[in-house]
């Protein structure tokens, strides 16, 4: 009896199947919720202090330093599309006044699918500039750059739910964007 073996390297549907698998992978990165490692990172990052301690004699130059960090770090950093966000309260020990920072990023932009990944670089940058930081919460922001509108909703397992109304007010106060929010508990 004769047995023929065949191998199919590609077919007409191979391209579509590859595109589907890529889309599923991107969806899973964007919709990942949390894991134990993420929760540990979020607990450590939730409240962090400045890397350097400012002496009272250094406060004279603090206004210049503050202006430099504001030029370098935008208070509102939104990536177009539907992404996770964090809201960070930053206080400089020499100034005492709190500043607010909001950041969204895709998993590819921030290096991972969790809220802690979104917060990591911004917290590090603010701490290195002398700020104490507290990640106050998170959720999702659906930012439509063509309509200049941001919709705030959802929650973060690691940091808790952000104050969506406050976040939408901050977004509107920093530019030419309109913002809305939804505090429904069933929205992720």
Average pLDDT over the chain reads: 80
Q: Which of 25-29, 41-45, 87-91 has the highest mean pLDDT?
A: 87-91
* Burial (0-12, 13-18, 19+ Cβ within 10 Å), 89: middle
Q: Token pair 């750059």 is at which residue?
A: 145
Tell me, yes or no, if the pTM score tops 0.75.
no
Q: Which residue has the higher pLDDT, 130 or 46?
A: 130
Q: Is residue 143 within 8 Å of residue 150, measured between CB atoms?
A: yes
- Please state, as a whole number, how many other Cβ atoms lie within 10 Å of the Cβ of residue 177: 18
Q: Is residue 131 within 8 Å of residue 138, measured between CB atoms?
A: no
Q: Which residue has the higher pLDDT, 86 or 175?
A: 86
Q: Element (H or E) spanning 25, and its range?
A: helix 14-31
What is the rounded distance in angstroms from the CA atom of residue 84 to the CA atom of residue 77? 12
pLDDT of residue 26: 56
**DSSP 8-state assignment for residue 161:** B
Q: Which residue has the higher pLDDT, 27 or 122?
A: 122
pLDDT in tens, 159-171: 999 999 999 999 9
Out of 63-67, 81-85, 128-132, 135-139, least confident range: 63-67
Q: Which residue has the higher pLDDT, 47 or 22?
A: 47
What is the rounded distance in angstroms from the CA atom of residue 167 to the CA atom of residue 173? 10
pLDDT in tens, 6-42: 776 777 767 776 666 666 555 545 555 667 777 777 7
């Amino acid at each position: 009896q004769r047995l023929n073996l065949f191998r199919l390297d590609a077919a007409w549907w191979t391209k579509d199947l590859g595109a589907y698998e890529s889309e599923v992978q991107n969806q899973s990165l964007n919709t990942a919720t949390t894991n134990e490692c993420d929760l540990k990172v979020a607990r450590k990052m939730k409240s962090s202090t400045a890397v350097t301690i400012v002496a009272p004699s250094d406060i004279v130059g603090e206004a210049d330093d503050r202006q430099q960090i504001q030029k370098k770090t935008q208070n509102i950093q939104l990536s177009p599309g539907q992404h996770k966000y964090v809201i960070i309260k930053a206080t400089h020990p020499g100034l005492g006044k709190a500043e607010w920072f909001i950041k969204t990023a895709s998993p590819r932009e921030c290096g991972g699918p969790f809220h802690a990944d979104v917060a990591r670089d911004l917290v590090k940058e603010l701490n290195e500039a002398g700020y104490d930081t507290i990640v106050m919460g998170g959720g999702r922001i659906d930012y439509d750059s063509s309509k200049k509108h941001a919709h705030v909703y959802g929650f973060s397992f690691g940091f808790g739910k952000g104050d969506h109304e406050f976040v939408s007010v901050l977004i509107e106060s920093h530019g030419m964007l309109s913002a809305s929010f939804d505090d429904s508990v069933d929205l992720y």
